[in-house]
Structure 1
Amino acid sequence: MRDKKKAKGDVANSLVMVLQLGINIIVPILLCTVIGVVLTKNFGSKGYAIGGILVGVVAACNGAYRYLRGYLKRFESKEKHD
């Protein structure tokens, strides 16, 4: 019985991790893209939109890396205690 609860908990934790990772990737890309498009409309240069996309991708990669690094540290320390 306890193994089933642990398995369900592991599945739930994995699902939460995947959803959080998706949010950590999508939000910076969309936010920086929108800012770049707004700047492009106001100033008339296409470089702002491209720059916004690039900054968003870099920020998303950085955020995903930091989140995964912290998640893996917690996961490893949890395994050591079990």
Structure 2
Amino acid sequence: MNFKKDVYRNIAMITQIGISMLAPVILCVFIGTQLDEHFGWNTVLPLLILGILAGCRNTWMLMQEMIPKDKKSGKRDRGDGAD
């Protein structure tokens, strides 16, 4: 039973990481395309770079929250109480 719970938790974590990386990229490309069509500005490439940087930051912050570290021993907390 605990194995299934861990598998589902890991799948949810991977999905959350993927969404947090792709959402800003897709949003920035969409906004850049709309600005290009409406105003004629060339903004897709700068906004794409901005979206990639924002996605990397989101993923980094999410990973920092998901992987708690024990400051005394330097070990990761497995969360199952077996140390």
Note whether the superposition's TM-score is higher than 0.5: yes
**Which secondary structure does the structure 2 equivalent of 1:73 belong to?**
coil
1:14 maps to 2:20: no
Tell me the equivalent position of 1:24: 20
Select the structure that is richer in helix. Answer: 1
Task: State how many pairs are aligned.
Answer: 76
Structure showing greater relative contact order (alpha-carbon pairs closer than 8 Å, 6 or more residues apart): 1
Q: How high is the TM-score relative to the length of structure 1?
A: 0.82
- TM-score (norm: length of structure 2): 0.81
Distance 1:38 1:9 in 2: 43
| Structure 2: runs of 5 or more not aligned | 70-75
Name stretches of at least 5 consecutive residues in structure 1 with no aligned partner: none
1:1-82 aligned at under 5 Å gives the runs 5-46=1-42, 48-73=43-68, 76=77, 78-79=79-80, 81-82=81-82
3-state SS in 1 of match to 2:41: coil
Root-mean-square deviation over aligned CA pairs = 1.8
Cα distance, 1:15 vs structure 2: 0.2
Percent sequence identity is: 24
Per-residue deviation, 1:61: 0.2
